[in-house]
Amino acid sequence: MEQLLATFETTTAQAIGQFSSAAFYVQALVVAASLIVAAMISRLISARLAFLPATPQTGAFADFRNALYGARGLLFPIMCAATLGLATPVTADLLGQAWLVRLAQGFAILALVYRIADHFVSNTSVIFLLKWVGIPIAILYMLGWLGGVVSYLDSLSVEIGNIRFTVYAVARTVVFGIILFWLGRASNDTGQRVIRGNQALDVGTREVIAKLFEIGVFVVIFLLLLQVMGVDLTALAVFGGALGVGLGFGLQQIASNFISGLIILLDRS
C-alpha cells in the first residue's frame, strides 16, 4: 500500500511538473496557433472554391461537384491534422518533446475518422475498418506506441522459400486492399454516371469510353495495391515483354481488330 501511494505521489509530482513547465505552455501555444491557421486555411479554401459555399446546380461534373460539396465538413479536421502534423517535428526539434502537439493531432485524426465513418461512407466493411482499425491506430499514435507496435508485428513472420510474409505486411495489404477497391468502385460508379449522362456523344461512343474508364480505374487500383504489397513494379516489365511477344506472334490480328473497332466507334461521334 505504501509503495502504491509512493508511486502515485511520484506520478502526480511528475505530471504537475510537466504541466507547469515552459515547454508545456509553448506546446499549448503551438496547438492554438495550428488550429487558428487551420481555420483560416479552411475558410480561405471555402471562399475561393465557388461550389463549396452553396449547393451546386446540375450541369457538367455535377456528381463530382456535389460530392465535394458534401465533403466540405472534412476540410477543417483535415487542415487541423495537417498543420499539427507539420508542427510536431518542428516542436520536437526545438523543445525536445512534442507530446501535447502529437496528442492534439491524434484527436484531430480521431475526429476526421469519425466524421468520415458516420457521414460519408455507407460500405459496412470500410466503416468497420475506420472504426476498429483507424481509431486504434490514431490512439497508438497519440500515445507514441505506434512505431513499437509496427516493429513487433513486422517481426512476426513466416518464410516460404525466398518469400517472407509478416503479420504487418498481410494486415496492411488487407486494410489498404479493401479501401482501394472501395475507392475504385465509388470512382467508377461516378465516372460511369458522368460519361453515360453526356448527351453530346452517341450511345456506342459513351459505352466505349465508359468501359475504357472502368478498365483504367481498376488498373490504377491494382498497381497501387501491388505497391502496398511491396511488389517491385519493374517486375511487370517481364509480363509486358511476354505480352509483346504474344502480340508479335499470334495476337496482332486480334489487337488490330480491337483498335480498329474503337477508332470506328469514336469516329461516329
Judge whether residue 35 has pLDDT over 90: yes
Among 66, 68, 48, residue whose Cα is nearest residue 56: 66
Judge whether residue 135 has pLDDT over 60: yes
Opening angle at CA 60, ends 55 and 66, nearest 5 = 30
Asked if 132 and 175 touch (Cβ cutoff 8 Å), the reply is no
Residue 163 phi, psi dihedral angles, 5° rounding: -100, 130
Q: Which three cell numbers stand for residue 6?
A: 509512493
Any idea where the domains of the chain sit in the sequence? Answer: 1-144
- Reported as type and span, the H/E element at residue 261 is helix 252-267
Q: What is the Cα–Cα distance from 104 to 88, expressed in whole angstroms?
A: 10
Q: For residue range 148-192, list pLDDT tens digits in order.
A: 888 888 888 888 777 778 888 888 888 888 888 888 888 888 888
pLDDT at 250: 62
Q: For residue range 64-86, list pLDDT tens digits in order.
A: 666 666 677 788 999 999 999 99
What's the predicted TM-score (pTM) here? Answer: 0.63
Among 136, 214, 105, 127, residue whose Cα is nearest residue 178: 127
Q: Which three cell numbers stand for residue 105?
A: 493531432
Structure letter (DSSP) for residue 56: P
Beta bridge partners of 165: 158
Judge whether residue 144 has pLDDT over 60: yes
Q: Which of 135-139, 212-216, 226-230, 253-257 is least confident?
A: 253-257
Q: For residue range 210-225, list pLDDT tens digits in order.
A: 888 888 888 888 888 8
Residue 207 phi, psi dihedral angles, 5° rounding: -65, -40
pLDDT at 133: 84
Asked if 115 and 101 touch (Cβ cutoff 8 Å), the reply is no
Q: Which of 12-16, 106-110, 115-119 is least confident?
A: 12-16
Q: Which residues have CB under 8 Å from 123's CB, separation 6+?
A: 182
To the nearest 10°, report the CA torsion of 86, 92, 95, 101.
60
The 3-state DSSP class for residue 215 equals helix
Residue 125 phi, psi dihedral angles, 5° rounding: -65, -40
The 3-state DSSP class for residue 145 equals coil
pLDDT at 268: 58
Q: What is the Cα–Cα distance from 111 to 81, expressed in whole angstroms?
A: 10
Q: What is the Cα–Cα distance from 177 to 182, expressed in whole angstroms?
A: 8
Among 163, 268, 136, 128, residue whose Cα is nearest residue 207: 268
SS (H, E, C) 174-214: HHHHHHHHHHHHHHHHHHHHHHHCCCCCCHHHHHHHHHHHH
Look at 250 and 203; give whichever has higher pLDDT. 203
Q: What is the Cα–Cα distance from 78 to 73, expressed in whole angstroms?
A: 9
pLDDT at 36: 95
Judge whether residue 42 has pLDDT over 60: yes
Judge whether residue 14 has pLDDT over 80: no
